Amino acid sequence: MLLYFVKRIFLGILIISVAVTLMFCMIHLVPGDPARIMLGPRGTTEMIADITMRMGLDQPLVIQLMKFFGNILQGDLGMDVISSRPVTAIVFGQLPYTLWLIFSAIFGAMLIGIPLGCYSALHRNTLADRVTGVISVACITAPSFVVALYSLLIFAVTLKWFPAIGAGDKGDLFDQATHLVLPAFAIGISWVGYLSRLVRASMLEVLGENHIRTARAYGLTESTVVYRYALKIAILPTVTVIGVGMGFLISAAVFTEIVFARPGLGKLIIESITSRNYPVVMGSVLVSTVLFVISTTISDLVNAWLDPRIRANL
Amino acid sequence: MKALIKRISSDPLGLLGLCLVTLMVVSALGASIFAPYDPIQLNIMDRLQGPSANHLLGTDQLGRDLFSRVLFGGQVALKVAFLTIGSALIIGVVLGMIAGYGPTWLDNSIMLLFDTIRSVPTIMLALAAVAMVGPSITTVIFVIAVSSIPNYGRVVRTQTLTIKSKDFVKAEMLMGASLLRILSIHVLPNILGPLLILASMDIPTVIALEAGLSFLGMGVKPPTPSWGSILNDGFALIRNTPWPIIAGSIPLVLATLGFTFLGESLRDLLDPKLRKLL
C-alpha cells in the first residue's frame, strides 16, 4: 500500500517535470527570439537586450532549463511584463475564483445527478428512465460555452433574474452567490448528465450483487437496501471520475469566465494572450496542469485505498 | 455496409444520429450550392436583421447572411474534425505499436509522454500554443491532434500487447515473418474496429473544441465563417439581438448530438460478435 502511494506520487512528480520541460522547449523552440516575442511590437533593441540578460537567455539551454526548474521549485514563475508583479502572486490571486466556480458546479451536479441516476436505475427501462437517458446524453454533449451563452441570454439579459457579469462584491456573500449561479450551472449541467449515467450503471451492477440479495432476504425495507447498502457503494466511481474530470472542469471554467466576465484563471490567461503577457500565460498553464495532476493523483490514491486490486497494476 | 445502416436504423437514436450527421455533411459539402449568399459578403444596409424569407437565420452586425455562414462554418468544422482525428489516429497507431512491441524503456517513455499530454487541460495546451505561434486553423488542428494522440496510442498499445502474446503470432514469428508483416497483417486489422469507434466518438469533442477556440478568438481567423466565430459575434451583440447566438449554436448542438448518437449506436453494434456485418 505504502509502496503504491510512493510510486503513484513519484509518477505525478515525473509527469509535472516532463510537462515543465516540454513547456520550456515550447518557449525556446518556437521560431523567433523569446525576448522579442515576449516584448512584442513594443520592444526596442535595448529592451530586448535587457530582457535577454535578465532572463539569462544568453546562457546555454541546459543551464537555462536548470534555472527554470529551480525557479519553479522556489515558487517563482517570473515577472508580469506589464505590471512587473510576480506571476505567482497574480495567478494565485485569480485561482480561488476558478476553484470556487469548479467546486460549486461539481457539488450542484452531484446533488442533482446522483439522485437522478439512482431513480433511473430503480425504474430501469421505464419511460422515465429512457427520457432521463436521452436528456443526460444531450446534457453531456452540449458544449459548456453554448450553455453559458444561453443562460446569459435567457436568465441574465432577457429575464434579468441573475447578474450578468463579474463575481459580486467582496464581503457580500449573497451577492457572490447570485453571481455564481449561472456560471456554475453552465459548467455543471454536463456533469449532471454524466454523473446520472455513471451512477445508474454502477447502481445496476451493485443491485445485482449478493450482499444486496442477502439484505433483501433479511426483510429490510427497499429504501434501507437502496440507500444504506447499494448507493454507498454505487457512488464510489464518481470520486474517480471527478478527479480525472478536473481537466474538463478547468477547460469549461475558461469559457464560462469569459462569457460571464468573471475573474479567474481563464479570464486571466485570455487577457494575457491578448496583451502578449507570456510569463502570465505560461504560469497559468503550469498551475492548471499541476492542479490537474494533483487531482488525478488523489483520485487514483483514493481509488487504490478503496480497491486493493488496482494497487497490483502499477 | 448496407446491413450496418439497416442495423443502425433499427435503433431510433442511432437513426436520428445518422440523419443529423448526413444533414450536416451534405449541407457542409454542398454549401456553395445551397448558400443563398456569399458568407463573407458585407451588406451594411441589412445588418442585424431577424429571420425572414430573405435571410433564413437573419444577418450579423456586418449584414452577412447567417444561414450562408452557418453552412460554410460546417465545412470548417468537418475539415478540422477529419484532419485532426486522421492525423492523431495515424500517429497514435504508430506510437502505440512501437510502445507495445518495442523495448521496455521505450514503452515507458512513450507512456510517460502520453500521461503528460493527458495531464494538460486541452484548452490550456491550445491557449499556450496560440500564445506562442498565433491563432490559426493550423494551430487548432495541431493542438487538438496532439492532445488526442494518447487516447488512440493507449488503446493500440494494449491491443498490440495482447495480440503479440497470441500463439498464432508467435508461430508466424518462428516461421520468419518480419515485424512489419506481423504488425500490418495481424495487429492492425485487429485494432482497427475499436479505433474507428473511438474516433467516431471523438468527432463531437473535436467539433466543440474548434468552435470553442474560435469563440474565444483563438481559432479560425475572420472573416472565415466558423460556428464558434458566429457565436463570438453573437456574444458581443447579446444585448441587441439573440439571432447570431441561435444561428451559431443550432448547427453546433445538432452536429455534436448527431455524432454522439451515431457513435454510441456504432459502438453498440460493432461489438466483436457483430463485426461480421461490416
What ipTM goes with this model? 0.82
Q: Which residue has the higher pLDDT, B107 or A163?
A: B107
What range does the domain containing B143 cover? 2-277
- pLDDT tens readout for residues B259-277: 888 888 887 776 544 443 3
pLDDT in tens, A37-58: 666 666 677 777 777 777 667 7
Contacts of B236 in chain A (CB under 8 A): none
Per-residue pLDDT tens over the stretch B225-240: 888 888 888 888 888 8
Q: Which amino acid is at A309?
A: R
Is 90 exceeded by the pLDDT of residue A157?
no
% chain A with pLDDT above 90: 7
CB–CB of B119 and A247 under 8 A?
yes
At residue B59, the 3 state secondary structure works out as: strand
The whole-number pLDDT of residue B88 equals 94
Q: How far apart are the first and last CA of chain B?
A: 6
Work out how many CB contacts closer than 8 A connect A with B.
Answer: 125
Q: How confident is the model at residue B153 (pLDDT cuts 50, 70, 90)?
A: very high
Q: Name residue, grid cell 529551480.
A: A70
- Reported as a single tens digit per residue, the pLDDT across A167-193 is 777 777 788 888 888 888 889 998 999
* Nearest neighbour of B116 by CB, restricted to A19, A134, A153: A19
Mean pLDDT calculated for residue range A89-95: 88
Mean of the per-residue pLDDT values for chain B?
83
- Stretch 18-47 of chain A: residues touching chain B, C-beta under 8 Å: 18-19, 22-23, 26-27, 30, 37
Q: What is the pLDDT of residues B113-142, one digit of tens each?
A: 998 998 888 888 888 888 888 888 888 899
| Mean pLDDT of all residues in A282-301 | 89
A278 near B CB under 8 A? yes
A14 touches chain B (CB under 8 A): yes
Rounded to whole angstroms, the Cα distance separating A183 from B108 reads 40
Say what the pLDDT of residue A30 is: 65
Closest CA to B167 of B185, B153, B186, B154: B186
- In terms of Cα–Cα distance, which of B138, B111, B142, B143 is closest to B124? B143
Report DSSP state, residue B65.
B
A280 and B CB contact within 8 Å: no
Contact A143 B208 (CB under 8 A): yes
**Which tens digits make up the pLDDT trace of A250-262?**
889 999 998 888 8
End-to-end CA distance of chain A: 11
Rounded Cα distance, A296 and B135, in Å: 30
Per-residue pLDDT, B193: 79
Residue carrying C-alpha cell 508467435? B170
- pLDDT interval class at B102 (50, 70, 90): confident
Least confident of A18-22, A295-299, A310-314, B261-265: A310-314
Q: How many CB atoms lie within 10 A of CB A40?
A: 12
Please report which confidence band the pLDDT of residue B169 belongs to, taking 50, 70 and 90 as the band edges.
confident
Residue A11 contacts B where some CB pair is shorter than 8 Å? yes
Helix axes A144-151, A246-259, angle to 10 degrees: 30
Are B32 and B20 contacting, i.e. CB atoms less than 8 angstroms apart?
no
Identify residue B268 by its one-letter amino acid code: D
A157 in contact with chain B, both atoms CB, cutoff 8 A: yes
For residue A10, pLDDT over 50 is answered with yes
CA A170/CA A163 separation, integer angstroms:
15
Q: At what angle do helices A278-306 and A265-274 cross, to 10 degrees?
A: 150
Calculate mean pLDDT across residues B214-219: 86
Residue B183 grid coordinates: 504488425
Judge contact between B122 and A247, C-beta under 8 A: yes
Question: Which three cell numbers, joined as nine digits, stand for B43?
Answer: 451588406
CA distances from B129 to A259, A266, A278, B134, B139 (A): 22, 15, 11, 7, 7
B76 Cβ neighbours under 8 A, 6+ residues apart: B137, B210, B214, B220, B224, B225, B226, B227
pLDDT reported for residue A308: 63
Asked if the model's pLDDT at residue B84 lies above 90, the reply is: yes
State chain A's mean pLDDT as an integer: 83
Read off the pLDDT band of B71 (50, 70, 90): confident
Q: How far is residue A24 CA from its own chain's centroid?
A: 23
DSSP 3-state of A77: coil
What percent of chain A is modeled with pLDDT above 70? 91
Instruction: Give the pLDDT of residue B272.
Output: 47
Nearest partner of B146 among B102, B110, B124, B114, judged by Cα: B114
Higher pLDDT, B210 or A58: B210
**B239-249 burial: b if 16+ Cβ within 10 Å, else e:** eebbbbbbbbb
Give mean pLDDT, residues A198-211: 85
With beta carbons under 8 A apart, name residues in chain A contacting B118: 247
Choose between A249 and B223: higher pLDDT. A249
Q: Which of residues 115-144 of A touch B (CB under 8 A)?
A: 134, 137-138, 140-143
Longest dimension (CA), chain A: 84
Confidence check: pLDDT of A310 > 80: no
The whole-number pLDDT of residue B145 equals 93
Q: What are phi and psi of B65, to 5 degrees?
A: -70, 120
The Cα A256–Cα A267 span in angstroms is: 9
| Closest partner CB to A143 (pick from B131, B252, B261) | B252
pLDDT at A140: 85
d(CA A197, CA B197): 20
Q: What is the pLDDT of residue B273?
A: 44
- Say whether pLDDT at A301 is over 70: yes
How many residues comprise chain A?
314
Residue A313 has pLDDT above 60, yes or no: no
> In degrees, to the nearest 5, what angle opens at C-alpha A131 toward C-alphas A129 and A134?
110
Angstrom distance (rounded) from CA B185 to CA B190: 9
Interchain contact A288–B (C-beta under 8 A): yes
Provide the pLDDT for residue A126.
85
Grid cell digits, residue A169: 462584491
- Residue A244 at interface with chain B, using a CB cutoff of 8 Å: no
Max Cα-Cα span within chain B: 77
In A, minimum Cα distance to B242 occurs at A153
Residue A276 to residue A274: CA distance in whole angstroms: 5
How far is residue A211's CA from residue A3's CA, in Å, rounded to a whole number? 31
> Partners of B65 in the beta sheet?
B59
CATH number, domain of B210, equals: 1.10.3720.10
Any idea which of A272-276, B53-57, B197-201 has the lowest mean pLDDT? B53-57
Mean pLDDT, residues A156-161: 81
Among A83-87, B3-7, B230-234, the range scoring the smallest mean pLDDT is B3-7
Which of A145, A158, A250 is closest, CB to CB, to B212?
A145
CB atoms within 10 A of CB A28: 14
Q: How many folded domains does chain B comprise?
A: 1
Helices A173-207, A87-122: crossing angle, 10 deg rounding: 40
Task: Give φ, ψ of B59 to 5 degrees.
Answer: -130, 160
**Cα within 13 Å of Cα(B277), Cβ side:** 18
Interface residues on B facing A, Cβ-Cβ cutoff 8 A: 13, 112-113, 115-116, 118-125, 127-133, 204, 208, 211-212, 215-216, 218, 231, 234-235, 238-239, 242, 245, 249, 252-253, 256-257, 260-261, 264
Among candidates A145, A278, A284 on the partner chain, residue whose Cβ is nearest the Cβ of B215: A145
Question: Which residue from B146, B127, B147 is spatially nearest to B216, judged by alpha carbons?
Answer: B127
Instruction: Output the nine-digit C-alpha cell for A231.
Output: 448507493
Confidence tier at B146 by pLDDT (50, 70, 90): very high
CB-based contact A137:B260 (threshold 8 Å): yes
